[in-house]
Every structure is written in structure tokens, then in C-alpha cells.
Amino acid sequence: MKIIIFALITVFLLIECIGSIDKIIIDDYQYQNAERDPVTINNIQLIKDIIRFNVSYGGGCEDHIFKLISTSFMESNPVQVNIVLSHEDNDDPCDMWITETYTFNISPLKESYKELYNEETGSIIMNIEGYNEPMEYSF
């Protein structure tokens, strides 16, 4: 019984966390004008609708802002999007090497795909700026 209660609490907490995760922004204008202060993408994990970026950057004195921004779909088979992990360092003068993980919900890509193509399943190739290999988001 304790295991079931623990499992239910864990699922509830995961749902709460997913609800508070920033969502990808799909906007060509914002993509073109995104802040692109230096950042190194060490690793990316894609698990269902959640993408995690492990990044490193110089800083330590100011708050840094990260946003995930994509273009609209580029017609190909499968469709593609260009994505940038926007980094605003707020003119941080410090040089401490910081490594952190940022998590984003990319389900707006899926919802946009379903609406545009009238399909419940599909794949999107994500070309992520600063990362060597495209990633496939299937749903």
C-alpha cells in the first residue's frame, strides 16, 4: 500500500513540475531576434514532450535568461524547424564557468503540427543551433 501511495505522489509531483516548465516559443520574428550570448550545449536529452539542455557559460554575477525559440515549420518530409536556445547574460561581467540544466516543454510543436497537417502522429526534425546533430521529435 505504501508503494502505491508513493507512486501516486511521485506521479502527481511530476505532473506539477511539467506544468511549470517553460514552453518552446514558435515565432519566426523572435527566432531571428533572439539573444545569442555565448553558451556551450554539452548535452541534450529528449524524453517525450520534454527536452533538457545541459549547458555551460561564463557568468556568476547576474541572472541569465534562457528561452527555447523555434521557427515555423519548413516543408520537407519529415518537416523541420530551426531552434535556438536563446541566452541573455544581462552583461554579466563575471567569468565563473557555470554548468546547469534547462528543461522545456516542446508539446506546442506537436500541437501546431496536428493542427496544420490534420495528423495525430508525426515526426519533426529539430535543427538546434550550436548542436552538431539534428534531433527527431516523434509523437
- Output the average pLDDT for the chain: 92
pLDDT category at 9 given cuts 50, 70, 90 is low
Give the model's pLDDT for residue 93. Answer: 97
- Phi/psi for 117 (5° steps) reads -105, 0
Q: Is 23-138 a CATH 2.60.40.2370 domain?
A: yes
C-beta of residue 109 within 8 angstroms of C-beta of residue 117: no
pLDDT at 20: 74
pLDDT for residue 134 is more than 90: yes
Domain ranges across the chain: 23-138
pLDDT at 15: 46
**Model confidence pLDDT, tens digit, residues 13-26:** 454 444 579 999 99
The candidate with the shortest Cα–Cα distance to 105, out of 66, 31, 52, 55, is: 52
Instruction: Please name the residue that has the C-alpha cell 536563446.
Output: 86
Task: Write out the E strands in the chain.
Answer: 22-23, 25-26, 40-47, 50-59, 65-70, 79-88, 96-105, 123-128, 135-138
SS3 of residue 48 by DSSP: coil
Residues 92-128 have pLDDT tens digits of 999 999 999 999 999 999 999 999 999 999 999 999 9
